[in-house]
Structure 1
Amino acid sequence: MRPEERQGRLERARRTLARRHGEKLLAEVTGGVELRARRDASALLAYTIAVAVHALTLVLAAAGIWWIVRGWGGISMALGLFPLALAWGLRPRLPRLPKDEPVLRRETAPELFALIDETALVAGTRGVDTIAVDAELNASVTTYGLRGRRLLTLGLPLWQILPPRQRIALLVHELGHYGNGDSRHGLVVATACRSLTAWRYYFALTPKPNIVQLVVNLACFVPGLLVTGVLRLLDRLTMRAAQRAEYLADRVAARAASTEAAVELMDRLLVVDSAATTLRREANQAALRGARRTGQAGDQDRGEGLWERLAVHMASIPEYEYERLRRVGALRGHSVDATHPPTHLRRTGLLTGPVHPAAVVTGEEREGRIAAELADARSRTARQILRDGFPDR
């Protein structure tokens, strides 16, 4: 789950498209149609457009180099700098490992990686190479580096509010994205979308411009429309596959953790805003107490108690509140982000599918070992939230 825009026509269009495809796919599921991961004509066209975006980068780079070589030693060399700058801005951006977040590897967290490997077998894929822990109520998978290594980004606040079997459902759902036909997780399409997003930022119009900025806005208007149009087209071409991938990942999560656990995970997602409010309140109270000053003895104690207070709050949410949120979600729409089907549709898809028992379970001892492996990351993340505040979703 990637960073999402909160406003704008593109964001509203993505949510509308997600809801439309989500409803159609749910109708297929409830009608007895078996969903399968596949590459359709839309995915092929999206791949072609993505290749064209990368080809444009190569053309610009080649043109810049040609102008520099052609005008070597003269002022015309400067003509090559402009296409080279454009090529640099449009270059494929491969994800990298985070530098300011805890990163876990197999030698430092063998039990957690063993659990992921076990769940990956159920998902019909392999595990991940690295785990990054951050302070968000989220989880996602991606690949990084030229060798395409797999990275699981685990939002510790989300991990902390989930019971063990819902954690398994979460892990399997994320791992399911590696093999269920979601082209947005592919290297070619994903990097093209990142390049176009960067260009859309470069061509963004300046609000309330002066004379110079007005001229720049006029020059950027048409290219900005073109870039936004291509992004929207890629959204439309890949949205149905992305929605299908979410339903398939939910089914895989049900097989691994049980249908009941997968449904409970959907319910838990409805109350993440309440967890976010609690974490912001804790951060505000810490700021009032002067907890922003690092190096104090009390900072660590407050950080360790953060997760306990969050757990108490989550346990206090009554069942009728979940029922209310389920009804509100069905009426108004609730989704994890703009690319996911509405949560109530995902929940319905699980309830109308086959009922599975848990294929992967953890006992108290194993859960304790995993908790010990995450202890340092848990303390660091708690202190970060209390020091810097909880990030907006």
Structure 2
Amino acid sequence: MPESCPECGGNLLAVEDTTPWCGRCEWNLDTFPPVNGIWARRLVVGLDRRAGFRAGRALAALGEHEISRRATVGFVALVVVSALLTIGLLATAGVGVWLVVTGGLLPPILLGLALIGLAATLRPRLGSRKRAVANGWIVPADSAVSALVGRVADATDAPRPHVIVADLDWNAAVAVVGLRRTRVLRLGVPLLLALDEQQQVAVIGHELGHLKHDDSLRALATMPALTVFGRLARLTTLPPGDAADRGLAGVLALIFSVLQLVMGALSWLFWTLHLGLHLIGAAERRRTETHADLISARAAGHRAALESLDVLALLETRMKGLLHPNVADGRAAAEWRDLLTHARARAAGDVEALRQLTIRDAASMLASHPAPGRRHQWLRARPHLDPLVTVTPLEAETLRAELAPYAEPLLRRIREAHGL
């Protein structure tokens, strides 16, 4: 391995015993670890990783106007497919109802019920408020957390969430669910502990950016294209085993074998369509994630937004394993926050390499989010933005006090995992 990049002469980076690469031109960054399994799996995974790497680099090179386009070719294609599938589902349900209402004999009625059941199985799901808030705690509307979310929404002209949920995930997410289109913001307590308060504004701004850009409506418009063929593939997949395994012989064995061939071909066709549409959908979701980073920078400022992306780059290798059970009751949030802060300080010298390493690790055409390293590249190239929302020291103390009780259930879960 050369000591400097053979392409541009830049310094090579390496961390966590990985293959070195050039931090300037990304030479050798698309060298991936070996893949286990048969040759076909190795081939497919290798092709996916290389294509995902190129797609991520192309995404990071887009300008703000290109990233904010509302109607790309991929999005239009998904909407058209979704519209055709929706018409098909409505027609299937309509024929089913007609057969049930007008069928004087049992077979038409059974066929009608089967068609209604098929349409119901394949229908788009709107989600529900109950599921959206499950495994979490609703944050009171008069809390400092809710007030901060409201400030970010007002400053960025984004819709306010109807419900804010604190959960125990290393993540944050937003969803619009149900017929009433309830906006639900979920904030993971471990992630919030890993961030300072200004970086929390960046994460909140990113999630509210999805609401501002109507990403949930776009997802609803493309949902049939991304779900119907997958469900059809599962419906047409027969359990493993041949006719002999089921004790069939003669004509029954022949019928079953033909059925396996027909259903297998249909299932393969549906899975192929499902995969192709998901490749398009994943590319669209990566673009919307990058677009939401603009709102993150507007809300919290460029520095905090970029720092929050660096925290995401550190989570897997430097942070997630630090939450231990040996803390006193009532002290989990404070002690874990100190541990995570010190971990970030220790990783300061490696953060650039770890950030770029996420580009290699997350390279896939099916990835729904760009790698933190790619998001950092794209946002860093945008014009500098000062924060619209600034958290004062007093507000920070209030936020920390409010978050502390939510860390205790996580402490109990970790203790249970350790048998304590």
Are residues 1:305 and 2:332 paired?
A: yes
1:242 counterpart (260, 276, 285)? 285
Are residues 1:134 and 2:133 paired?
A: no
Query: Structure 1 CA distance, aligned partners of 2:186 and 2:258?
Result: 42
CA change 1:256–1:100 in 2 (3 A) is closer
Q: Tell me the amino acid that sits aligned with residue 190 of structure 1.
A: M
1:263 counterpart (298, 306, 309)? 306
Does the Cα contact within 8 Å between 2:53 and 2:363 map onto a contact in 1? Answer: no
Query: Structure 2 CA distance, aligned partners of 1:227 and 1:240?
Result: 20
Query: Structure 1 CA distance, aligned partners of 2:265 and 2:288?
Result: 34
Are residues 1:323 and 2:352 paired?
A: yes
Output one character per residue of 1:153-173: Cα deviation in whole Å (capped at 9) or x when no partner: 222221221111111111111
2:98 matched to which residue of 1? 66
Query: Structure 2 CA distance, aligned partners of 1:214 and 1:270?
Result: 50
1:25 counterpart (59, 73, 80)? 59
Query: Structure 1 CA distance, aligned partners of 2:400 and 2:109?
Result: 59
Q: Tell me the amino acid that sits aligned with residue 188 of structure 2.
A: G
Query: Structure 2 CA distance, aligned partners of 1:214 and 1:386?
Result: 52
Q: Tell me the amino acid that sits aligned with residue 112 of structure 2.
A: G
Q: Tell me the amino acid that sits aligned with residue 316 of structure 1.
A: A
**Cα distance, 1:190 vs. partner?**
3.2
- Which structure 1 residue ranges, 5 or more long, are not aligned? 1-6, 287-299
1:277 matched to which residue of 2? 321
CA change 1:110–1:209 in 2 (3 A) is farther
Which is worse superposed, 347-356 or 181-190? 181-190
Output one character per residue of 1:41-72: Cα deviation in whole Å (capped at 9) or x when no partner: 43222112112222232222222222222334
Query: Structure 2 CA distance, aligned partners of 1:349 and 1:136?
Result: 26
CA change 1:386–1:152 in 2 (3 A) is farther
Query: Structure 2 CA distance, aligned partners of 1:153 and 1:379?
Result: 18
2:275 matched to which residue of 1? 232
- Which structure 2 residue ranges, 5 or more long, are not aligned? 1-36, 247-255
Q: Tell me the amino acid that sits aligned with residue 302 of structure 2.
A: T
Query: How many percent of aligned residue pairs carry the same amino acid?
Result: 25
Does the Cα contact within 8 Å between 1:278 and 1:310 map onto a contact in 2? Answer: no
Which is worse superposed, 227-236 or 84-93? 227-236
CA change 1:202–1:377 in 2 (3 A) is farther
CA change 1:94–1:10 in 2 (3 A) is farther
Does the Cα contact within 8 Å between 1:169 and 1:262 map onto a contact in 2? Answer: yes
Does the Cα contact within 8 Å between 1:161 and 1:310 map onto a contact in 2? Answer: yes
Number of residue pairs the alignment of both structures matches: 362
Query: Structure 2 CA distance, aligned partners of 1:245 and 1:143?
Result: 16
Does the Cα contact within 8 Å between 2:139 and 2:166 map onto a contact in 1? Answer: no
Are residues 1:114 and 2:114 paired?
A: no
2:380 matched to which residue of 1? 351
Larger radius of gyration between Structure 1 and Structure 2: 2
2:412 counterpart (383, 388, 391)? 383
Query: Structure 1 CA distance, aligned partners of 2:384 and 2:80?
Result: 39
Does the Cα contact within 8 Å between 2:330 and 2:404 map onto a contact in 1? Answer: no
Are residues 1:88 and 2:117 paired?
A: no
Query: Structure 2 CA distance, aligned partners of 1:131 and 1:168?
Result: 14
**Cα distance, 1:147 vs. partner?**
1.7
1:174 matched to which residue of 2? 207
CA change 1:25–1:227 in 2 (3 A) is same
Query: Structure 1 CA distance, aligned partners of 2:271 and 2:113?
Result: 25
CA change 1:324–1:75 in 2 (3 A) is closer
**Cα distance, 1:338 vs. partner?**
1.0
Query: Structure 1 CA distance, aligned partners of 2:376 and 2:202?
Result: 13
Query: Structure 1 CA distance, aligned partners of 2:96 and 2:299?
Result: 52
Q: How does 1:147-162 map to 2 (within 5 A)?
A: 147-162=180-195
Query: Structure 2 CA distance, aligned partners of 1:123 and 1:11?
Result: 40
2:68 counterpart (36, 40, 47)? 36
2:124 partner SS? coil
2:398 matched to which residue of 1? 369
Does the Cα contact within 8 Å between 1:182 and 1:241 map onto a contact in 2? Answer: no
Does the Cα contact within 8 Å between 1:181 and 1:245 map onto a contact in 2? Answer: no
CA RMSD of aligned residues (A): 3.6
- Taking structure 2 as the reference length, the TM-score comes to 0.73
**Cα distance, 1:129 vs. partner?**
0.7
2:293 partner SS? helix
**Cα distance, 1:269 vs. partner?**
0.7
CA change 1:214–1:366 in 2 (3 A) is farther
Query: Structure 2 CA distance, aligned partners of 1:13 and 1:232?
Result: 15
Does the Cα contact within 8 Å between 1:183 and 1:242 map onto a contact in 2? Answer: no
Output one character per residue of 1:254-296: Cα deviation in whole Å (capped at 9) or x when no partner: 12111111111111111211433344xx4xx79xxxxxxxxxx
CA change 1:272–1:234 in 2 (3 A) is same
Which is worse superposed, 152-161 or 183-192? 183-192
Query: Structure 2 CA distance, aligned partners of 1:276 and 1:264?
Result: 17
Higher relative contact order, structure no. (Cα contacts within 8 Å, ≥ 6 residues apart): 1
CA change 1:350–1:75 in 2 (3 A) is closer
Q: Tell me the amino acid that sits aligned with residue 154 of structure 2.
A: L
Q: Tell me the amino acid that sits aligned with residue 363 of structure 1.
A: T
